Amino acid sequence: MTEKWGSSTNFFTFTRSAVDKARSLAAIWNGDPHATFEGLAYSVASGIRAGLLLFSTWGSDVGGYVRPDANSPSEELWARWMQFGAFSPMYEIMVGTGHTPWYEPYTDALVDVLKMTADWHTKLIPYIRSYTAQAVKTGIPVMRALFLEYPADDKAYTASDSYAFGAEFFVAPFVSGGGSRTVHFPSAAAGKKVKFLDWFDKKTVFTGGVDETITLPLTRMPVYVREGAIVPTGDVYKGNAAWIENWAPSLEIEFYPSYAVNTSLFEFAREDGTSAMISMRTDKAAETVSIAVQNLGTTGKFKVYTKTGTADIAFNGAMSVTMNRVVTLFD
């Protein structure tokens, strides 16, 4: 492929089976799951297992491959699988063969979910790319068994339906129908609780070590950022979006400060293959939050989420800024 396309081209081998030495060269998908909620549950567990086997770039046949009848997958199942696909390292969806989201028996609502989840995944490309770059160097996958991030939590060792997505996200997909599930929020070291913020509403905070019943519509899934998180998002890869005139890459770096986390660091993977550091430091006594970035290779803005609102701060190149009298979402 390098001989054909050149060493600087973005490509990878897409395969269902690979030997150990292919870890840095191949993206894996999970074979032919059944288009049932059981198939979705097995796929979540399969993604966690693939990460433990050090195959980080992984995806599933969204919606399932083996279809029990002409009405499979159901609209609810497909929507929930689309959401899981968006929070997988690779989002690939089964369409065609009489099962396409914009044809009967599916409604416009499912097309809306497809658009929404595709936007989620596209927005997360800077984040996923950064953790993929780390996976190549360290072996630690993007989609992580909970005990890799929360080793002090006993339940993290048996969790097969929730996972860490990088270090910043905790994800608990719906793996059964009805839009309701029990979520165990993982705890940190003994005697120390970690807090999680609902990534979508930016308001609801949960404390680690507890179980909560979560009920959400088809437009939402249980996705949480841990306190102190730094999440690079944005539109950085044009791909086939040729209809966007004057397209240019842009970043939005999301910051979730907490006075319980004094220092947060994120190693950002630039387009040219190098990395740049993003840092956030908090000082509870002074009520300040300080942010600094090296040159990220493109323009954009910081989005700092606090109880007093969201601060939008433009950046272009390396810069630093300090915010005063900050009341965090977690305090």
Q: How far is CA 287 from CA 190, 254, 282, 308, in A?
A: 27, 19, 8, 13
CA distance 237 to 249: 7
Give the pLDDT band of residue 6 (cuts 50, 70, 90): confident
Domain boundary among 199, 226, 253: 226
For the beta carbon of residue 188, count every other beta carbon within 10 angstroms.
18
In a domain, 186, yes or no: yes
Q: Residues 209, 255: one domain?
A: no
pLDDT digits (tens, 9 = 90+) for 8-41: 666 778 888 888 888 877 899 888 999 999 999 9
> At 37, which helix (H) or strand (E)?
helix 37-52
Q: What is the pLDDT of residues 279-317, one digit of tens each?
A: 999 999 999 999 999 999 888 999 999 998 899 999 988
The verdict on 168 and 151 lying in the same domain is: yes
* Cα 92 to Cα 32: distance, rounded to the nearest angstrom: 13
Beta-sheet pairing, 61-62 with 58-59: unpaired
- Tell whether 267 and 175 lie within a shared domain: no
Q: Clarify whether residues 212 and 254 are in a common domain.
A: no
Domain containing residue 46: 1-226
Domain boundary among 195, 226, 257: 226
Q: What is the pLDDT of residue 8?
A: 64
Instruction: State pLDDT tens for residues 161-172.
Output: 999 999 999 999
What is the pTM (predicted TM-score) of this model? 0.94
At residue 323, the 3 state secondary structure works out as strand
Q: Where a domain ends, among 187, 209, 226?
A: 226
Residues 185, 182: Cα–Cα separation, whole Å: 10
Pairing of strands 205-207, 195-198: antiparallel
